[in-house]
Chains A and B, each alone.
Chain A
Amino acid sequence: MKNFILAFSAVLFLISLQAQSVKLLKSNLVANQVYMSFEKLDEKNVLRVIKDSTVQKVDEPTFVKVKDLDFENGIIEVKVLSRLLKNAPAFARGFIGIAFRIDDNNTKYESIYIRPTNGRADDQVRRNHSVQYYSYPDYKFDRLRKETPETYETYADMGLNEWITMRIEVKGKEAKLYLNNQKQASFIVSEMKGSAAKGGIGLWVDIGTEGYFKDLKVIHK
């Protein structure tokens, strides 16, 4: 019995150290202003997300939210792949990313997303808009770009139709984005704008994106 308890404790301890894998199953997820479906891509089960086209505005709570998850600080990691829908408008960029610290009613949250079509564009200005932070509802991309240029976005190499590992490390007001398991952060937000200290996690897309997600992991710290 003693051995059993020891072993059990050890297992518990190991689990607590490791990333908590969040299964992307229908029972575990709620679509908010998006269509979600479960598909096979390269023989893997993946979550497909498309924005509800009746939502006109951008940088809105258009995500699939994980049920019963309360995240404050730690690590969120997920693999994303973005394609453009056939009817995507000219300004579509393959917008795909993560929302976090989402409040219960989806009225406020933080987000980091990417624009994969910009990563290898011939125009350096577009490249410099490959990664974006925003805080809903008060600080969307256009306001941040106008009021604090070059501070909440940056360049990183990326493309459409390829799996990109996004890992966000959140600590208080700071968030760092690591792409494709690189050692150094590709992007740093040193002062997030939102007032919500904790909340849910969402897998986010915007207009024109056919977004795929897999291998979501969350570590609380």
Chain B
Amino acid sequence: MKQTNIKTLLITFGLILYAFSTFGQKLRLKKQEFELKNVTGSIIKFQGKDVLKIERDLKAIPFDVNRLEATVDEPHYARLVGLDDFENGTIEVKMYSQLQDPAPYPGIAGFIGVFFRVQEDDSAFESIYLRPKVGRVNNQMFRNHAVQYFSYPHAKFETLRKNYPAGSYEGSAPVALNEWIKMRIEVNGEKAEMFINDMKYSSFIVDKMLGKGKKGYIGLYVDIGTIGYFKDLKVTKKALKVKQDGEKVEDI
């Protein structure tokens, strides 16, 4: 009996420790501090540079292949500490996606990206992420799913695929695993445009985002099977740009 108590105590203690390690762990990369939310992570030297490395914590939020949509694209990310009011402006970050080996699930695609307008309690946010594994595969349909927008919690990828015309919130982009990808998102009101590797024109556009949260935190996201590396996060807040009549004539 006594031994059981000690065992229980130890388990409880272990759980508390674990909870501390999973929730609220903070890491400092240069001048920025990141709070790990349902991801494990560390600051490491990668190709000679300090980077933030994160992986989704499958114990914190379990994955269930039979409830795929419900158990992916959840709040597993590294939150940039101290910026709780990003509404409009530019988010730029370099990311590098590796696949875990062995794969925890055959459908992994190197999921990596950005959250923005994240509410304090993670109850809602917007996101654009990549599936670098399919960026250059020999199947055009897969390629066309290399970029994904979603709005948490009500408009995840499957819901969007079901309820909107094909390709409304997905697209192709010149991305791949195991290489640095510079992602820049320009957020303006309901619109978000994503630029890859400083290309002149955006590779992806969301004309009308679906979230209700107007401002919030910024986060760096990975999902199941990804070892994600991030560096050089830059955030610039800007005032809402109102489109002038006739400024951009959308062709016919």
Contacts and interface: CB of A to CB of B under 8 A. Distances in A.
A160 B201 CA distance: 14
Interface stretch (A25-33, A43-51, A144-152): A144-152
A116 B172 CA distance: 16
B140 A187 contact: yes
Given A124-B168, A188-B143, A157 B138 contact: no
A150 B166 contact: yes
Interface residue range, chain B: 20 to 34
A129 B172 CA distance: 11
A196 interface: no
Contacts of B251: 84, 117, 121, 160
A121 B250 contact: yes
Contact of A124 (B139, B143, B171): B171
Interface string A151-169: 1111111001000000000
B252 A152 contact: no
Interface residues of A, number: 34
Given A150-B166, A190-B138, A127 B252 contact: no
A54 interface: no
Interface string B120-142: 00000000000000001011110
B206 A184 contact: no
Contacts of A121: 205, 250-251
Contacts of A151: 140-141
A157 B197 CA distance: 13
Contacts of A90: 252
Nearest to B251: A117
A92 interface: yes
A155 B174 contact: no
B33 interface: no
B144 interface: yes
Interface string B154-176: 00000000000111111110100
A154 to B, nearest CB: 5
A152 B139 CA distance: 10
B205 A152 contact: no
Interface in B190-204: 191, 199-204
B167 A92 contact: no
A92 B140 CA distance: 24
Nearest to B193: A122
Contacts of B138: 188, 190
Given A128-B167, A128-B171, A184-B136, A120 B201 contact: yes
Contacts of A189: 140
Contacts of A84: 251-252
A157 B199 contact: yes
Interface string A83-118: 010001011100000000000000000000000010
Interface in B91-115: none
Contacts of A154: 140, 143-144, 172
B207 interface: yes
A79 to B, nearest CB: 19
A61 interface: no
A42 interface: no
A157 B205 contact: no
Contacts of A150: 140-141, 144-145, 166-167
Interface of A: 84, 88, 90-92, 117, 119-125, 127-129, 148-157, 160, 182, 184-185, 187-190
Interface of B: 136, 138-141, 143-145, 165-172, 174, 191, 199-207, 250-252
10 contacts: A88-B252, A92-B252, A121-B205, A124-B167, A124-B205, A127-B171, A128-B172, A152-B140, A185-B136, A188-B143
